[in-house]
Amino acid sequence: MTSPASLTDASTAFAELKRRLNLISDLGAAQGLMSWDQETQMPPDAARVRGLQMAGLAGLSHQLFTADETRALLEAAEREDAPGEVEADLLRVVRRDFDKATRLPTAFVEEMSRARNEAHHAWIKARTDNDFAHFAPYLQRVLDLTRQYAELSGYAEHPYDALLDDYEPGMKTAQVRRIFADLRERTLPLLRAIVAAGDATDYGVLSRPFPASAQRDFALKVAGEAFGLRPAFSRLDESAHPFQTNFSADDLRITTRFDEHYFPMSLFGTWHEAGHAMYEHGVSRELERTPLSRGASLGVHESQSRMFENLLGRSRAFWQRYFEEFAQAAPDVAAGQDAENLYRAVNRVQPSLIRVEADEVTYNFHIMLRFELELALLEGTLSVEELPSAWNARMQEYLGVTPPNDAEGVLQDIHWSSGLIGYFPTYSLGNLLSVQLLEAARREPQVAGGLERADYTPLREWLRQQVHQYGRRRTPDQLVQAATGAPLSADAYVKYLHEKYADIYQLG
Amino acid sequence: MTSPASLTDASTAFAELKRRLNLISDLGAAQGLMSWDQETQMPPDAARVRGLQMAGLAGLSHQLFTADETRALLEAAEREDAPGEVEADLLRVVRRDFDKATRLPTAFVEEMSRARNEAHHAWIKARTDNDFAHFAPYLQRVLDLTRQYAELSGYAEHPYDALLDDYEPGMKTAQVRRIFADLRERTLPLLRAIVAAGDATDYGVLSRPFPASAQRDFALKVAGEAFGLRPAFSRLDESAHPFQTNFSADDLRITTRFDEHYFPMSLFGTWHEAGHAMYEHGVSRELERTPLSRGASLGVHESQSRMFENLLGRSRAFWQRYFEEFAQAAPDVAAGQDAENLYRAVNRVQPSLIRVEADEVTYNFHIMLRFELELALLEGTLSVEELPSAWNARMQEYLGVTPPNDAEGVLQDIHWSSGLIGYFPTYSLGNLLSVQLLEAARREPQVAGGLERADYTPLREWLRQQVHQYGRRRTPDQLVQAATGAPLSADAYVKYLHEKYADIYQLG
């Protein structure tokens, strides 16, 4: 039994801990704003000092979080006998984050940060010059440090578990292997059948002129009307690499880029980021300014963006509903077209070299390839030197294409240069989860009815109830099990792909 | 003699103190960015949490600065026998700021912050409803706390000295009284002569249509070409109340507002803010991320903005140089006009009710009135209840106009509601200093030659050398004495007004 005195102590400690977490959250918002500003607003000469300022705030934030006072407050707060549900969830997540943050020696964190920074600059040069050899020693260094990171962080079965866990808490390497093997086995035949079937569609429509400002207006109109992203709590800017960030649940910032001769980039890009934004918008205000006020994982986050972008934005019902408005916004594109033509055009399946341009059927092969190569590098069965040829061989095996150079092959993504190893799988896990969630939501008649009319209000309400509101209170596993009644698998996604593309490509 | 060991201690302490000051500066930059973002970019629903976040960072910043560790580091660093010049200046300014910040009990600071916040909201309502009585008790509370603030802060002669010192370090009430009395005595006859002379100019030209985007382009073109404000290190946005802020010397943000039927607002407003911005841009990079990397005082700051806005932007040479470009940007305005017409139009002298719309001749009377009323309130010779009638009586005395209501009278400015008592005089001190500096600069033949051609590059270089580069290293007094060879006085300004307006109004 706990005496009243220690009860008071624990709850006082909790209140004090929460104040500290609020401040750390405020510092996080400031860093996020500095970063958003840097990508979208900042004058170029400001970059040098901005870098110092962001590093200063990051250091202060880390120092506040890993301080002895935080440890003492956390330990005292954990002595609470009967914490409230949110309180218990907060303590669990903070304990997890605190242990992760304090397991690494400061000198190691600094070395890793330096190595990543150098590798990032080497990668930019290597990609520009199409010169993998220039990047190789830097990647080797990142890889060595990543192995050390896994050892310092600890893991039960596989060092890759420690990496995965940063992006997809609780997910194990073995589980990803099983899911990906299943996915590969059941979708590679589909891809081959599509390729074999040939394609007489006229895709010229996708490159017809559509002025950037009109693209922007249409993308935002749909983001608001269909997906609920309102100007009252969000904004859209341009940036070189599209992203979503937010500084509170009512301060959502998304970015996109415009190509006046390829409108799908800005349209589907905006709706993708709108999916991320609406997740953060749906987090309970009760969790505000705490570490719980974020998405549960990158995979769960990606399930929301992919749902808006692909499952809804690339659905037949969507184009039936929005074709007329599209035609008003883009008369040059829509001339002589109808909803069905557009639906077909934006769902083209075509094996290609670049991940970020890949369609729904081929996308996951880009991810599997990266996952397999990361594992082989980490396990030491593949050397950095062998990486380009291993990449090219797998591209040929899965997609039947071979990069003409490394810039369009192994050097295309920023991730490895930034030390983001273990991150790629979350893209595919998000794809799979998007369909698994949508199928679960569809069991509600209101949601199913809405989907047929491209009215997504009931779906959004379901997502808010089942996923968004919890923030980080539930782990991805818990969320998926509770929302869909089953653990994550490839089943729903495989079924979705087969049905959608057998129809589009009239496969037998 | 100091032993080598304590020398090391002092310099180690200085380095550690500087790291702490860098972090506090980074936090300041983050707060500044949050505030700029709030005024120019932020979606409206974000306001509530943004307020909490800004308060969080402000508290953290104050806590870091006033901490016992800061005191210990400062004391240790001050033991350095032979500090470098910049080091000595930094220690002097930090000591000044630290003593000011720690002289006030935390409870008092919090009470003041609450009172100001409440008064601010009461003022908004009072101004909207034209109801001074609603504001009176809140202003009384602010005034009582301001008296306490002066006592806690300490002063030698007059409690108002303690207030002034926050905005104009080292400036004394007696000095302001003397300067203002002199100014009043020597410019009131000029104003009366101008009013008596009558004015046949057609000011309709000022309200001719000039589209906002074209105003923006022209304002920015001149800001760049004439005043040196380049997009590489600055940007211009719209906001309800124009301001300048910056997050480093190469990250300058100015704002303005546009009236398509009154172009002087955006043009002179932009150039005014450009003057503030170019001051911060000229601060030595050596002072970056320290408390020295700011302007010396509000008055010195205002001297820079007023110089660009009025002494240059409203000069005959300027309009001769830029009339053609203006005519291209604003053909509807320029039709049938010439440089001289425009020069005359933008220099209209007209006693009016609103300070921020006042011309060069009448502006300082608005300030003197406020200064005199602040003193009377603080000394207790005027009650808050009597304030509106005292305001109106002085408006009549100085400017010959009487506000039809308090919204256009005593309630027009935000300052008192925000506890900014002692701030107003810096506007006029800045006006006086702007001319005193320009006359000193003109002694350089290159500067004088440039002024005749509206080529301000030599002037800007002189300002950088004499004023900008020092940041807060020199006090306003030191700067003015070194740059102009004399202490601040009304002499130059009085001479300037007489010469300029005797010419414009053809006074005998």
A56, B231: Cβ pair inside 8 Å? no
pLDDT in tens, B277-307: 999 999 999 999 999 999 999 999 999 999 9
Instruction: Name the H helices within A380-475.
Output: 387-399, 425-442, 445-453, 457-466
Q: Are B24 and B64 in contact (CB under 8 A)?
A: yes
The alpha carbon of residue B34 is apart from the nearest alpha carbon of chain A, in Å, by 7
- Residue A267: closest CA among A309, A324, A322, A327: A309
| Signed CA dihedral, A192, A193, A194, A196: sign only | positive
What is the arrangement of strands in the sheet containing B244-248, beginning at the earlier edge strand?
B234-238, B251-256, B244-248
pLDDT in tens, B437-478: 999 999 999 999 999 999 999 999 999 999 999 999 999 999
Please report residues of A whose CB lies closer than 8 A to that of B233: 43-46
Of B26, B50, B56, nearest to A53 by CB-CB distance is B26
Pairing state between β B244-248 and B251-256: antiparallel
Of A22, A34, A250, nearest to B33 by CB-CB distance is A34
A248, B53: Cβ pair inside 8 Å? yes
The residue annotated as part of the active site, out of A273, A280, A309, A360, is: A273
Evaluate if residue A391 carries a pLDDT over 80. yes
The residue annotated as part of the active site, out of B168, B273, B280, B461, is: B273
A49, B233: Cβ pair inside 8 Å? no
User: The tokens of A408 are what?
Assistant: 């369009």
Q: Distance between CA A63 and CA B16 in Å, rounded?
A: 15
A30, B48: Cβ pair inside 8 Å? no
Please report residues of B whose CB lies closer than 8 A to that of A43: 231-235, 250-252
pLDDT in tens, A121-175: 999 999 999 999 999 999 999 999 999 999 999 999 999 999 999 999 999 999 9
What is the arrangement of strands in the sheet containing A234-238, beginning at the earlier edge strand?
A234-238, A251-256, A244-248
Average pLDDT over residues B100-119: 91
Average pLDDT over residues A431-459: 98
Label residue A54 by pLDDT band (50, 70, 90). very high
B43, A232: Cβ pair inside 8 Å? yes
Residue positions counted in chain B? 508
CA angle A4, A7, A9 (to 5 degrees): 115
pLDDT in tens, A444-454: 999 999 999 99
Q: Distance between CA B352 and CA B35 in Å, rounded?
A: 32
User: The tokens of A157 are what?
Assistant: 């079965």
A26, B52: Cβ pair inside 8 Å? yes
B27, A60: Cβ pair inside 8 Å? yes
Buried b / exposed e along A345-377 (16+ C-beta atoms within 10 A): bbbebebebebeebbbbbbbbbbbbbbbbbbeb
Residue B22 near chain A (CB below 8 Å): yes
Residue A58 near chain B (CB below 8 Å): no
Helix (H, G, I), strand (E, B) or coil at B402: coil
Evaluate if residue A6 carries a pLDDT over 80. no
B251, A46: Cβ pair inside 8 Å? yes
Instruction: Name the H helices within B79-197.
Output: 85-102, 106-129, 132-153, 159-167, 173-197
Residues 439-458 of B with CB under 8 A from A: none
- The answer to whether A39 is annotated as binding is no
Residue A478 near chain B (CB below 8 Å): no
Q: Distance between CA A15 and CA A126 in Å, rounded?
A: 50
Sequence-separated (6 or more) residues with CB below 8 Å from residue B208: B261, B330, B332, B333, B335
pLDDT in tens, A97-108: 999 999 999 889
Average pLDDT over residues A437-460: 98
Nearest residue of chain B to residue A54 (CA atoms)? B26
A46, B288: Cβ pair inside 8 Å? no
Residue B58 near chain A (CB below 8 Å): no
Of A49, A56, A232, nearest to B251 by CB-CB distance is A49
Q: What integer pLDDT is reported at residue A508 of this predicted model? A: 75
Q: What integer pLDDT is reported at residue B508 of this predicted model? A: 75
The alpha carbon of residue A456 is apart from the nearest alpha carbon of chain B, in Å, by 23
Average pLDDT over residues B172-197: 97
Sequence-separated (6 or more) residues with CB below 8 Å from residue B7: B80, B81
Q: How far is CA B40 from CA B37, B240, B250, in A?
A: 5, 9, 19
Q: Are A410 and A418 in contact (CB under 8 A)?
A: no
Helix (H, G, I), strand (E, B) or coil at B389: helix
- The answer to whether B276 is annotated as binding is yes
Nearest residue of chain A to residue B41 (CA atoms)? A235
Q: What integer pLDDT is reported at residue A159 of this predicted model? A: 97
Decide if B273 is catalytic.
Answer: yes
User: The tokens of A225 are what?
Assistant: 């009307």
Of B60, B231, B234, nearest to A23 by CB-CB distance is B60
- The answer to whether A276 is annotated as binding is yes
The alpha carbon of residue B183 is apart from the nearest alpha carbon of chain A, in Å, by 41
Q: What integer pLDDT is reported at residue A8 of this predicted model? A: 59
Average pLDDT over residues B399-414: 96
Of A43, A52, A233, nearest to B233 by CB-CB distance is A43
Q: Are B138 and B123 in contact (CB under 8 A)?
A: yes
Place of tokens 């199913």: A448
Pairing state between β A251-256 and A244-248: antiparallel
Q: What integer pLDDT is reported at residue B200 of this predicted model? A: 86
Residue A233 near chain B (CB below 8 Å): yes
Calculate the average pLDDT of chain A: 96
Nearest residue of chain B to residue A231 (CA atoms)? B43
For B188, other C-beta atoms within 10 Å of its C-beta total 16
Domain range list for chain A: 4-102
- Residue A487: closest CA among A248, A103, A182, A153: A182
Nearest residue of chain A to residue B42 (CA atoms)? A251
B48, A250: Cβ pair inside 8 Å? yes
- Residue A480: closest CA among A422, A436, A442, A448: A436
Label residue A1 by pLDDT band (50, 70, 90). very low
The alpha carbon of residue B106 is apart from the nearest alpha carbon of chain A, in Å, by 18
Residue B238 near chain A (CB below 8 Å): no
pLDDT in tens, A178-217: 999 999 999 999 999 999 998 988 899 999 999 999 999 9
Residue B252 near chain A (CB below 8 Å): yes
Place of tokens 């900042």: A42
Provide the β-strand partners of residue B245. B253
Nearest residue of chain A to residue B235 (CA atoms)? A43
Evaluate if residue B210 carries a pLDDT over 60. yes
Average pLDDT over residues B247-272: 98
B57, A30: Cβ pair inside 8 Å? yes
Q: What integer pLDDT is reported at residue B8 of this predicted model? A: 59
Of A29, A44, A48, nearest to B53 by CB-CB distance is A29
Average pLDDT over residues B122-141: 96
Provide the β-strand partners of residue A252. A234, A246
Q: What integer pLDDT is reported at residue A3 of this predicted model? A: 45
Label residue B1 by pLDDT band (50, 70, 90). very low
Q: Are B480 and B488 in contact (CB under 8 A)?
A: yes
Average pLDDT over residues B328-339: 97
Residue B247 near chain A (CB below 8 Å): yes
Q: What integer pLDDT is reported at residue A378 of this predicted model? A: 96
Q: What integer pLDDT is reported at residue B202 of this predicted model? A: 86
Sequence-separated (6 or more) residues with CB below 8 Å from residue B410: B132, B387, B388, B391, B392, B403
pLDDT in tens, A206-237: 999 999 999 999 999 999 999 999 999 999 99
pLDDT in tens, B60-77: 999 999 999 999 999 999
Q: Distance between CA B66 and CA B3 in Å, rounded?
A: 29
Sequence-separated (6 or more) residues with CB below 8 Å from residue A313: A222, A267, A268, A271
| Signed CA dihedral, B108, B109, B114, B117: sign only | positive
Candidates B18, B27, B49: best to mutate against A (most CBs of A within 10 A) is B49
A46, B248: Cβ pair inside 8 Å? yes
Pairing state between β A251-256 and A234-238: parallel
Q: Could you tell me what percent of chain A has a pLDDT over 70?
A: 98
Q: What integer pLDDT is reported at residue A289 of this predicted model? A: 97
The alpha carbon of residue B57 is apart from the nearest alpha carbon of chain A, in Å, by 7
Buried b / exposed e along B154-181 (16+ C-beta atoms within 10 A): ebeebbbbbbbbbbbbebbbebbbebbe
